[in-house]
Structure 1
Amino acid sequence: MGKKIVLAGGSGFLGQSLAQFLIKRNYDVVVLTRGAASTTRDGVRYAHWDGVNLGEWATEIEGCESIVNFTGKSVNCIYTKANKEEILSSRLNSVKVLRDAIHQCSEPPQSFIQAGSLAIFGDTKQECDEEAPHGTGFSVDVCKQWEDEFFRVSFPHTRQVLLRIGFVLGKNGGALEPLKTLVKFNLGGTVGSGKQYISWLHIDDLNHMFLEAIEQDQYDGIYNATGPTPVTNKTFMKTLRDAMGKGWTPPAPTPFVWLGAYIFMRTEPSLALTGRNCIPKKFLDAGFEFKYTDLGTTLSELVS
């Protein structure tokens, strides 16, 4: 048997991609899920948890190589009071209960890796490395509390790494799928002003970032997990249209975006109208080599 990696909340696009990536490198992967327990699919074993309370699932933590925590209600929703409360509580509760599970281990994991968000920088066109000022607003406040909770307690034998993840591009899921659909139906024009930045990265590069954090002891603390070549929304949408063989498409003015987000997409319009210009300075300083840095080549491959 290989070394075991536990993916908490790993049933989504990012978690499933990382699971298969790790299996190919001879790791045993266990996903903690609110779904059915004691099942195995595509080489991944699933254990039931609720993301709040200690239970039988905690035995999976004993002796594992690493925990990677993806848990958290999707921000792709309308920010009602109830949704806001769940967005925050789902993140904080999972950190707390995983911390409790580590504390009760006689053989704790080598690393505890948290999937975070670049949203902590708010809406900014200024280049942001890991030391850049934080923004303001609900999403920023969630990220601040999330990061504070993750690092509130340290462990004597477990490294803690938090990856602030950017706009992840991959096949058959993730952030790219709804944009492809818009372009397909000739609705993929510039969104709002088009000046908001998209800090993008390929899912393969993200998986290698996780692998580095799992295997290399020098990784510790907070890292921007994004590519080195962010672009504006205007550039991104034009590049995607070119990759899909579509010509010019009318832009979507801000009022239309608000209307469409609330009525048709049932999501928060700020997700499309804001952005951040982030770079992975600490990964670059550590010598990390990106496979995907050209957006046109990347999108052409992903939509082919």
Structure 2
Amino acid sequence: MNKAKTVVVAGASGFIGTYLRARFEQAGWSVRTIGRRTAKGSAESARWDDDAAITRVLDGADLLVNLAGRSVNCRYNARNRAAILDSRVATTTALGRALEGCRVPPSTWLNASTGTIYRNADDRPQTESDGDLGSGFSVDVARAWEAALEAADTPRTRKVALRIAIVLGPGGGALRPFATLARLGLGGPMGRGGQKFSWIHLEDLYRTVRFLHARTDISGPVNVASPDVVDNRELMHFVRRAYGARLGLPTPAWLLRLGAVLIRTDTELVLKSRWVQPQKLIDAGFIFRQPELGRALLSIAKR
């Protein structure tokens, strides 16, 4: 009998991490975790404040998936900016340091990044080879995040930065505020409505992780997004249809900015035009299970 493969999921308690952990377990993998809430002394888990435990958990594993990072669904004040940056850079640096101490390190390290690293784009898709990096706080965070991964000295471990688009799936995540607006009758276009919306279904994100681990010829940053990019107007149409909302009043940018202050979030999450093209995945032959946004939202709403 073949020995079960082992994956280490860092940041396993979040929306994405919880799903990936469950799916790996369903597939027969042994799952170890690293996070803030992990109990000390566990042989299968480690906390971020225990370097020795992190090395122990990583040693002998086949795959490392790092998803750690504070949510960006908040106001970008000085305190939150510092926490968002540190939660990504410090954890990535800690993993690199721990891998150096492993006798048998994982062969693959997939480290989360973000599709927001690209500029505001509504003129052409942004691929890994010809995409233009943007500017501003979110882009600075993404650059620092990927720089921390690049700086890690891991000659025995292949590193891949996952430039993940907005993740949609059952149980909440980025879809929740859109669904809430639709139910309240405010599910119309946001701002000008023409800004692009790049997304990925949770299941396809999990399948991408499995695919990239198996494809040892792929390295460097990889765009993790569905090829079915829509604009905000189309997005809200599909959201209204999925949640049975007939009325969809538009929300002008000024009202979005006011509402963002009240609910303590930032309008960049809905007003920036994200057009992320998964060229490396397409060229490698990856098949998306949920390639169309309309059908994906219907399946999510049913669950």
TM-score tier after normalising by the smaller chain length:
over 0.9
Deviation at 1:187, TM superposition (A): 1.8
- List per-residue Cα deviations over 1:89-126 (Å, max 9, x = no partner): 11111111101110011111111110110010132113
- 2:92 pairs with one of 84, 91, 95: 95
Unaligned runs of 5+ in 2: none
Distance 1:268-1:58 versus aligned 2 partners, 3 A rule: same
- Structure 1 distance, partners of 2:252, 2:264, is 18
| 8 Å Cα contact 1:199-1:230 kept in structure 2 | yes
Instruction: Provide the rounded CA distance (Å) in 1 between the counterparts of 2:186 and 2:278.
Output: 31
SS at match of 2:51: coil
Aligned-pair identity in percent equals: 34
Matches within 5 A, 1:76-155: 76-125=73-122, 126-131=124-129, 132-155=131-154
* Amino acid across the alignment from 1:9: G
Aligned partners of 2:119 and 2:250: how far apart in 1?
A: 24
Normalised by the length of structure 2, the TM-score is 0.94
- SS at structure 1 position matched to 2:125: strand
Residues 141-290 of structure 1 mapped to structure 2, 5 A cutoff = 141-263=140-262, 265-290=263-288
The 8 Å contact of residues 200 and 227 in structure 1, kept in 2 or not, is answered as yes
**Distance change (3 Å), C-alpha of 1:53 and 1:89:** farther
Report the Cα offset of residue 37 of structure 1.
Answer: 1.0
Deviations 1:264-294 (A, max 9, x none): x211122121121111000000000111122
Mapped to 2, the partners of 1:39 and 1:186 lie a distance apart of: 50
Conservation of the 8 A alpha-carbon contact between 2:46 and 2:57: no
Q: 1:39 Cα shift?
A: 9.7
2:56 pairs with 1:59: yes
Q: Distance in 2 between matches of 1:257 and 1:49?
A: 38
CA contact (8 A) 1:212 1:219 kept: no
Counterparts of 1:22 and 1:120, CA distance in 2: 28
Aligned counterparts of 1:103 and 1:154: Cα–Cα separation in 2: 7
1:49 — aligned with what?
47
Aligned length: 298
- How far is 1:31 from its partner? 1.8
Equivalent-residue separation in structure 2 for 1:218 and 1:25 (angstroms)? 23
Q: State the one-letter code of the partner of 2:32.
A: V
CA deviation map 1:106-158 (0-9, x unaligned): 11111111011001013211311112111111111111111112112342211
Instruction: Give SS of 2:275's match.
Output: strand
Q: Distance in 1 between matches of 2:82 and 2:257?
A: 22
**Could you tell me how far 1:17 is from its partner in structure 2?**
0.8
- d(CA) in 1 for partners of 2:250, 2:224: 30
- Aligned counterpart for 1:29 among listed residues 16, 28, 31: 31
TM (norm. structure 1) is 0.93
Q: Write the distance in 2 (CA, Å) between the matches of 1:149 and 1:48.
A: 20
Long gaps (5+) in structure 1: none
Q: Deviations over 1:200-228 (max 9, x none)?
A: 12111111001112232122111000000
Q: Give the CA deviation at 1:247.
A: 1.8
RMSD of aligned Cα (Å): 1.7
| Rounded Cα–Cα distance in structure 2 between residues aligned with 1:268 and 1:55 | 37
